[in-house]
Chain A
Amino acid sequence: MSPENYLYLSALLFTLGAAGVLLRRNAIVVFMCVELMLNAANLALVTFSRMHGNLDGQILAFFVMVVAAAEVVVGLAIIVTVYRSRHSASVDDASLMKL
């Protein structure tokens, strides 16, 4: 087996995440699909690192993880705030920037 298979898996997972972002209405599920896309990109980066024989890809994946953690914190805070004002976590309900 060639490590390229990891890239194919990563591409499929990324596609699934993108489809979820487009299809789902619940903001939290949309957010989880974004996380799935980030993870797929990380798998590709780790595989690239192995293919090229240096650790730069892993460093990049590490930074993606850190930024994703920060993003999760802020994104979930936004979802909680929107839920408080609208009593709904659906992305359709938050179609206006005002109350």
Chain B
Amino acid sequence: MSTLASLAAETSTSSGEAAQFWVLGPIALLGGLGTVLMRRAVYSALCLAGTMVILALFYLANGAYFLGMVQIVVYTGAVMMLFLFVLMLVGVSSTDSLKETLKGQRWLAAGCALGLGLLLVAGIGQASTGSFTGLAQANSEGNVQGLASLLFTRYVVAFEVTGVLLTIAAVGATLMTHRERLERAKSQREQAEARVRENKHVPPLPAPGVYARHNAVDLPGLLPDGTPSELTVNPTLRARGQVREVHQEALAAVRALEQRTNRHHGRAEAPGEPGGNGGAHGANGANGVNGKGVGAGSAADDEGAVTDAEEARK
């Protein structure tokens, strides 16, 4: 630490620091570019976190040891994680739309940014001093001690005010994201009574799964005509897009399996014959077609399944 401080006192930085700057500086710029240009917000957040870590290293190289550590702990540790939490809340897969709402806004914005960058760089070039003092003397008692003696004497009012600001921010954020429940949550009994009153889905909802092979909750049960029933899968799964589809191929596969089973047991039955379908049918019934509230008689059920299998074969 003392060697670093003494190096900082010279008029030119050490070659080690120069190497650090020329290696890490472009990476920090790339991170900044990634933050601006990445379509996915999560990638942007990760690029920004990388840039912040590199900035922390630059703080350390500049003799701001306390700020370097705070940068890592507070910014990359707390602030960026907060960003990621909110990203998860809002939806990770959200990408920016490429549609321009204002015509030519993108080019204008890029032009403005370029102008600002040129102005800033030109201004710094104009104000070049050539020499610098370095922090050897200021950091002689240690960086943290020096900061503390300033913070608790000259800047004590600002320090207190930022404390109040942090408290207000915490309370404000809690107030803003807190949602008051307007009405009491319905109990299970009340929900059941409401269902009976509306006479809608009075029995339990039909079970998911088709035939004995698939009884997973993400597979919709089939109606007698072979179409998947919306009621059988949890709406949450459908909202997430995690419902598996029952294609006609799946039905054909079941049909082929039944034929193989029949052959294995020596039951020579023509495909499509109601008797041959019986095995599958029993399984189907056991799996809850009857409980699906479809209201179809077993005969109609039989017929539907047979025509279905025939269609599948075509």
Residues of A within 8 A of B (CB): 1-9, 11-20, 22-26, 28-29, 31-33, 35-36, 39, 42-43, 46-47, 49-56, 58-59, 61-63, 65-74, 76-81, 83-84, 89-90, 92
Contact = CB atoms under 8 A, between A and B. Distances in A.
18 contacts: A2-B12, A6-B21, A7-B124, A8-B121, A11-B117, A12-B117, A13-B28, A28-B87, A32-B45, A35-B48, A39-B52, A46-B59, A55-B146, A55-B147, A58-B147, A59-B155, A81-B176, A83-B89
Interface in B14-57: 17-18, 21-22, 25, 28-29, 32-33, 35-36, 41, 44-45, 48, 51-52, 55
Interface size class of B (residues with CB under 8 A): 35 or more
Contacts of B113: 15-16, 18-19, 22-23
A49 B51 CA distance: 21
Contacts of B71: 42, 65
Contacts of B8: 50
Contacts, number: 241
A59 B129 CA distance: 23
A1 B94 contact: no
A50 B135 CA distance: 5
B276 interface: no
Contacts of B86: 28, 76, 79-80
Contacts of A20: 35-36
Nearest to A5: B21
Given A49-B135, A50-B63, A79-B90, A90 B70 contact: no
Dominant SS among interface residues on chain B: helix
A14 B90 CA distance: 27
Contacts of A6: 21, 58, 62
B82 interface: yes
Given A1-B17, A4-B124, A28-B90, A53 B134 contact: yes
A72 B82 contact: yes
Contact of A62 (B70, B129, B165): B70
Which 3 A-B residue pairings sit nearest by Cβ, starting from the closest? A53-B133, A19-B113, A22-B109
Contact of A11 (B45, B78, B96, B121): B121
Contact of B32 (A16, A59, A65): A16
A23 B106 contact: yes
